[in-house]
Amino acid sequence: SGTYHTDEIELTCRENVGCIDRLISKGEGLKVVETIREFSIEGKACKATPIIFALSICCRCNDHKTKDAAYKILSDVCRIPTHLFEFIKYCQDVNPNGDGWGRAHRKGVSMWYENYRNKKGGIPLLAFHMTKYKSRFGFTHRDVFRLCHIKTDNDALGYLVYHFCRNQNQTDINWSEHLELAKQKEGFEQSELKKVIDLLQVFDDAKNCHNEEMMKRMILEHHPYLVREHVPTELLNSKKVWEALMRFMPMTAMIRNLGKMSSLDLLESDSFGEGLTVDKLTSKELLKTAMVHPITLLVAKKAYSKGQSESKKQRLNWQVNPKVRDALKEAFYVTINHVETTGKRYLLAICMNGS
């Protein structure tokens, strides 16, 4: 038909990271790990995939100091479950001895969940992330809990493990009895365990909601915890639901969904949605806090300006709003200033042979 599609080749080849193997063999593995962490937390890379792939190489190497250092930064680099699942997949792909889970790997992955105790938001934030990103790259949280043999002395995290693994006979604690004892303790109403239980109930209620008005009220009442991923598929074409979602949508999620919101006429000229979107896209503080990469905005501007999506899952058409398009362009130039120059020269070589 004259129409062709191409996808990027998946990162699986060890030859792509020969430089990392050479640096580790020279005793510079700790410097590699430090560089990986720097590029991740400072938002220097457009996508997380190459960084996660590089980290998996370090975690599966034979140098113990490099391996220990790499597992210690796992929570810094893999900030959401999607990243963790991708990391686990790459660890299996790059391990020449099969996909077994050694002690270091089990401990490192278990600590990824435990480290939420030290993050702002704590275990309730983990509950939010686990329900938002339930499965990716062929893994679910239940699979990961089973493979890493997670054990914890934290009640809130323990309840999360129970919630995701129940009916599978994979938990040693009888949580029905444990929960009754926990409820009798002083301070239970203000505890993380109570917050996690309440949040999981909200997520279950949202999953079983089939009324757009009720869904809208739930989103407005429980923001920022109820997001698009918690909304049932049948309600994702509801204008009322998206009106509620867009009010509290994070920057990157908003950029990703500009076409969808325009297709529902939420970004019409002089509308509330237009004003909100333009204000967020032109806010230097929000762009810097969200660590939006300029290439992400350039791609978003090109995609939005087409007025239609090329997604294989769902084809959308929308009326391009000139103010939103110009705001994306302005945001691109703002974020350019956030990227530090390397001071290096680059050669871009293109192979043009027949193969």
CA 14/CA 20 separation, integer angstroms: 10
Q: Residue 38 is which amino acid? A: E
Rounded Cα distance, 45 and 277, in Å: 24
Question: What is the pLDDT, as a whole number, of residue 170?
Answer: 43
CA 334 – CA 347 distance, rounded (Å)? 26
pLDDT tens per residue across all 355 residues of the chain: 677 777 777 666 667 788 999 999 999 999 999 999 999 998 888 889 999 999 999 999 889 999 999 999 999 999 999 999 999 999 988 875 665 788 999 999 999 999 999 999 899 999 999 999 999 999 999 999 999 999 888 888 988 888 888 765 544 456 666 677 777 777 777 888 889 999 999 999 999 999 999 999 999 999 888 999 999 999 999 999 999 999 999 999 999 999 999 999 999 999 999 999 999 999 999 998 888 999 999 999 999 999 998 766 678 899 999 999 999 999 999 999 888 888 999 999 998 987 7
Percent of the chain exceeding pLDDT 90 equals 66
What's the burial of 328, exposed, middle or buried (CB within 10 Å: 0-12/13-18/19+)? buried
Q: At what angle do helices 122-132 and 192-207 cross, to 10 degrees?
A: 20
Residue type, 303: A
Which region holds residue 119: left if phi is over 0, alpha if psi is between -120 and 50, else beta?
Answer: beta
**Which residue matches tokens 């929570």?**
75
Q: What pairs with residue 317 in β-bridges?
A: 308
Q: What string of DSSP letters covers 255-323?
A: HHTHHHHHHTTTT-TT-HHHHHHHHHHT-HHHHHHTT--HHHHHHHHHHHHHTB---SS---B-PPPHH
Structure confidence by residue, pLDDT tens digits, 288-344: 888 899 999 999 999 999 999 876 667 889 999 999 999 999 999 999 988 888 899
Query: What is d(CA 98, CA 88) in angstroms, rounded to the nearest whole number?
Result: 13
Instruction: Using alpha carbons, select from 88, 10, 85 the residue that is nearest to residue 50.
Output: 10
Alpha helices in the chain (DSSP H): 18-25, 29-41, 49-59, 64-72, 74-77, 81-94, 103-114, 122-132, 141-148, 155-165, 175-183, 192-207, 212-222, 239-247, 251-256, 258-263, 272-281, 284-289, 294-306, 322-336
Query: How far apart are alpha carbons 238 and 125 in whole angstroms?
Result: 27
Q: What average pLDDT does the structure give for the chain?
A: 88
pLDDT of residue 56: 94
CA–CA distance, 123 with 114 (Å, rounded to integer): 8
CB 109 within 8 A of CB 145: no
Q: In which residue are the tokens 């009916």 written?
A: 167
Distances (CA, A) of 157 to 22, 38, 193, 339: 39, 29, 8, 37
**Residue 102: how many other CB atoms lie within 10 Å:** 12
Answer yes or no: are the C-beta atoms of 280 and 330 closer than 8 Å.
no
Quickly tell me which residue has 């939103």 as its tokens: 324
Terminal-residue alpha carbon distance, the chain: 23
The token duo for 231 is 């909304």
